[in-house]
Chain A
Amino acid sequence: MLADNVTDCHVLVVGSGGAGCRAAVEAAKYGDVILLSRSVTGKGGCTTMAEGGYNAVLNPKDSCSSHFEDTIRGGAYLNDRELVKILVEEAPERFADLMNWGAVFDLSCDCDGFEGTHPAQRHFGGQKFNRTCYSGDRTGHEIMATLMEKVRGGDIRIIQEVTVIDLLTETLSGGEVRVCGAVGLDRDGNMIVLRCDAVVLATGGTGQIYDVCTNCATGNGQGYAMAYRAGAELIDMEMVQFHPTGAVYPYDARGRLITEAVRGEGGYLKNSRGERFMAKYDPERMELSTRDVVARSIATEIAEGRGTDKGGVYLDVTHLGAAVIEERLPMMLAQLLNFGVDIRKEPMEVAPTAHHMMGGLRITPECRTTIKGLFACGEVTGGIHGANRLGGNSLADTQVFGKRAGEFAGKSVMHRALMNSPAIVGQLAAEELRFNRFLNGSDSIAEIKERLRKTMWENVGIFRTAEELETALAEIEELSEMTPKADSPAVLAECCVLEDMLTVAALVVRGALLREESRGAHVRKDIVQDWTPETSPYGHTYQSIYREGIEKAGAEDISAEGAGKGGNVQ
């Protein structure tokens, strides 16, 4: 199986969610762009599932420094300040782009601070101002619809339903490694080679390594694994956000997202005794505390026996009245009706679910990773959200950093790799060997995946100890020794994805072992610490094929003026 399918372009964007599409649109201003995705273009990724909203400072009474502070505080002071500064300052501009391109957001005419009609903004957890713009409870879908119009109307080549399995690299004369393309498999298992001047990784997160998650089927973390193999450095991989409110039943729907907008609109969390238990954990912010706090509170209620029979807690909106529910939460209403629950009349049952990866590729403000030629944006990057992401910040992240990644990748110097260079020939030969291993494999993909997801859920969840983490690591190592079986070439891609999942899971566990403190979404029950996140002696954890460790760094001034001084980007 030699690759006879070779395509060249200036910028290759991998992933067609919100960040990937935005990057492709921007990069197309500088040269020919290929937007490649595992799914049908625009249907992959989690953006389309994002319900609640997009944080942007629009109201004259709001301020970027307030958004900055909320983000840093919410992120337990682990965020890269420079990246956060960019996020909050550029989110309104990127929102304006979407509006100019045809996005249909909800409007309002009666918010204090605005004159006339303006985008409606709702309250989201952990923020001092109503700054979350929305389109009902299908905000991400609206953004994707807008971006897909822009992609279809632009000069962008689309390659869909191709699974990228590795980045191609070449070694420059000075010994530096440069990413120069990617290799993928099509639906039938044919190898496809793409050569380019720059790759933008926009492959999203990795919720699928957990048994219970909100992610779409392509949330396997392939981007982390491929970039890691190519030599890029990842930070804070232990920082996995558990969304407090995932569905509890039916079995196969476990983890499906119940949007934060339900609490934003005034929903109550109650335990089996009918108590609004958030009063115990965060009396001031109650249900609209940050996600890490709410998720831990729910997990504690359940663990201490105050959960429902089905293993969740109640999330109740019945007091809002049918009219409000129908107008503000139509999708939630429809989805739960589909599962036999009428949220106008009865409470939902919810429990935490793996949701978002705060950690990821270390990037500069220009979205450069630590290897030449490789850019990244969206959930696959780390540093922006620190140890806990605020709801509404990730849609903004996709647009702000999607645009930046597209722009700086687009500005890359053109110097095309040679197909017959020994390095590339060698890499393709290695892929062939990998395929042969899978075609002669003997272990079930589904079983390996299930064991991985179970061990991650049981041992690397909301509360962690070194012992459990070691257990998970041992299991992952055992699973990595197995050889998934490809019954036909069409299944080879699945085998590659599975190996990537194992790689990412190991990165998460090792990150969790490296971070000997509780901070944000990462809670080590076996560690006693005498510092708060603000005074923590630690910075990012980092991992690459060259080195791993944890940075020693103090928390800094969180005011906007302090931004840019404390970034840990190399």
Chain B
Amino acid sequence: MSGKDKVKVGEKMLSVRISRFNPADQSAPKIKEYSVKVHEGARVLDVLKAVRDTLDPTLLFRHCCGAGQCGSCALKVNGEPRLACMTEAADGMLLEPLDLPVIRDLVTDIGKYLKEMPYLVPACEECAGSDGSDASSSGSCSCACSCSFAMPSKEETAEMKPLRDCIECLCCVSVCPAVKVTDFAGPTYMRQEMRLALDPRDCDKDRIIGITEKGLFNCTTCQACVLACPKSIKIPGKAIEKLRILANREGLTLPRHKEVAGLVKTTGRSVQPLPDRKGLIESIDEVLEPYGDVKGEVGFFTGCLYDLRMQSTALDAIEVLRRNGIRIITPKEQVCCGSPLIRTGQTAIVPELMKKNIDCFVKHGIKTVMTVCAGCGSTLKNDYDTPFEVKDINEILTAIDIEKPEKIGLKIAYHDPCHLLRGQGIREQPRRLLRLITDDFVEMPSECCGSGGGVKSGNPAEAEAIGKLRGEEIKESGCDIVATSCPFCEIHVGSVTDKPVRNINTLLVEGYRKKDAKNAENASVKNAPQEQ
């Protein structure tokens, strides 16, 4: 406590908890609480300086430019990776090091990682010429080496610039689930590889092969890195998926991914139908009317898994919608959204799929297309340019006042599907629905299950390793049951925990059935005396 000076105008006292750790004489970090005087508008960095200058000179933290440009001062503020110099300090905040090897207190070992960052292999001096000032100059080599040399065009420059914003703070690496448990070089490493792959000045001919050996196919495209990035660089979309396209051109696509692409090409679906079961679309009417008054209408984009594998979950969703006044139109011509191809770099037939899908909903005059699969939803929203609105079922159901189900007396944890939470920004709606179902809702950290980005199909062992972490978090939550809102997560999370994993709509239907049964019982109790 620095009580010796009075708090003046423009100053304030602030309490802060800081993780202190010295591996030399401590086995684990300890959280210490400080109360310190700072100026109004102080950033987290100013608080750290105040603690060091007035309370404990041994507090170790890294900082340099103070302007969000050097990337030295990244740490966790209340669990979220942030730059200390750019984040406004809040009373009671918790400051911890990034989830990287800790050297002392808030300082992590980032040097080791940065040393391995890929770099441009320039043309030999003869090829490059001496006058790079003329950016349009280009030429191929006249000397004995094999490099070619050209200055980037305006277009290439425009593509490279967003990837160049990186300040190498390693926030992305610290949150990446694939980095934690698989041989994945990490988000910013891949960002740098893509920046180099885009650059005509780079003369590393084997770059793409090298990247596939660095775990290119281990990224689940969970987008945790995008959220963590102080510069909001969209690494999965702008780097990982683009690199996978380049890998595809060099014949480096994984065998399982090729099979999926072959299947989509021949059948329009990314999975094979089960021999003993009819597809959902085949077995339902194209137009399904609600049970009561029509309150709304949606076009149902089922996606491959709900059509061919998980029909019962899809039927639960349909049941919930019909019960709440939504007319459902399910065009028969719809095909795979293309996500399994976009995520794995096999984009050749994607435009064709997009056209088919857009046309069939347009033909029905549909204004709102609803997705129940988080992956399809994210793809339709982010990769498509649709003439209609796309909404996830959680958005549809929370926009209307749905009928309350009977509560089920279970402790429910919710697994955020990456493509719903980070891909579509949908966080509150599923929670609101779950609170209708249970009074005992528990939060878990929003981590990837390991299934996305083609990892489960292409690299099952990596998917399992990431899933195992998720399994442990589920166990820690102490829940009876895990709810989710994505077919891929439902299957994969189900394989890493012994708790039942259910779609939110399945739970809603369960609540409605319980309610109906109770009503029927009440009715029978009421009716009973009359009959006697």
Q: Which residues of A contact B (CB under 8 A)?
A: 39-44, 46, 48-49, 56, 58, 92-93, 95-102, 104-107, 109, 115-119, 135-136, 138, 140-142, 145, 148-150, 152-153, 158, 160-161, 187, 216-218, 249-253, 256-257, 331, 335, 338-339, 444-446, 485, 487-488, 490-491, 494
Contact = CB atoms under 8 A, between A and B. Distances in A.
Given A187-B104, A446-B53, A335 B68 contact: yes
A43 B132 contact: no
Interface stretch (B56-64, B475-483, B506-514): B56-64
Given A216-B66, A446-B53, A490 B119 contact: no
Given A250-B41, A339-B41, A142 B164 contact: yes
Nearest to A158: B115
The main secondary structure of chain B at its interface with chain A is: loop
Contacts of A150: 119-120
A182 to B, nearest CB: 20
Closest 5 CB pairs of A and B: A250-B41, A446-B53, A96-B132, A99-B132, A251-B39
Contact of B157 (A107, A257, A338): A107
B66 to A, nearest CB: 6
Given A43-B71, A218-B64, A96 B130 contact: yes
Contact of B58 (A119, A161, A251, A488): A488
Nearest to A214: B67
A253 B88 CA distance: 11
Contacts, number: 172
Interface of B: 10, 38-43, 46, 52-54, 57-58, 60, 62-72, 86, 103-104, 107, 110-111, 114-115, 117, 119-123, 128, 130-136, 151-154, 157, 160-161, 164-168, 196, 199, 201-202
Contacts of B165: 138
A99 B157 CA distance: 12
B133 A95 contact: yes
Nearest to A119: B135
Given A39-B72, A446-B53, A99 B39 contact: no
A251 B120 contact: no
B72 A43 contact: yes
Contacts of B119: 148-150, 152-153
Contacts of B46: 252
Contacts of A44: 64, 70
A270 B266 CA distance: 68
25 contacts: A40-B72, A48-B70, A58-B133, A93-B130, A96-B133, A100-B123, A100-B201, A101-B120, A101-B201, A107-B154, A107-B157, A117-B154, A118-B134, A135-B161, A141-B69, A141-B167, A153-B121, A250-B39, A252-B38, A253-B41, A335-B67, A335-B68, A446-B54, A487-B58, A491-B58
Contacts of A99: 132-133, 135, 151
A153 B167 contact: no
Contacts of B40: 250-251
Given A116-B136, A250-B40, A338 B154 contact: no
A256 B69 CA distance: 12
Given A40-B110, A101-B120, A150-B119, A490 B58 contact: yes
Contacts of B10: 251
Contacts of A158: 111, 115
Given A102-B120, A106-B157, 15 more contacts: A40-B110, A40-B111, A41-B114, A43-B65, A101-B201, A104-B164, A104-B199, A117-B154, A138-B165, A145-B166, A153-B120, A251-B41, A256-B67, A331-B69, A485-B57
A115 B40 CA distance: 53
A43 B64 contact: yes
A96 B67 CA distance: 28
Contacts of B136: 115-118
A136 B164 CA distance: 11
A325 to B, nearest CB: 17
A251 B104 CA distance: 29
Nearest to B45: A252
Contacts of A56: 133
B88 to A, nearest CB: 8
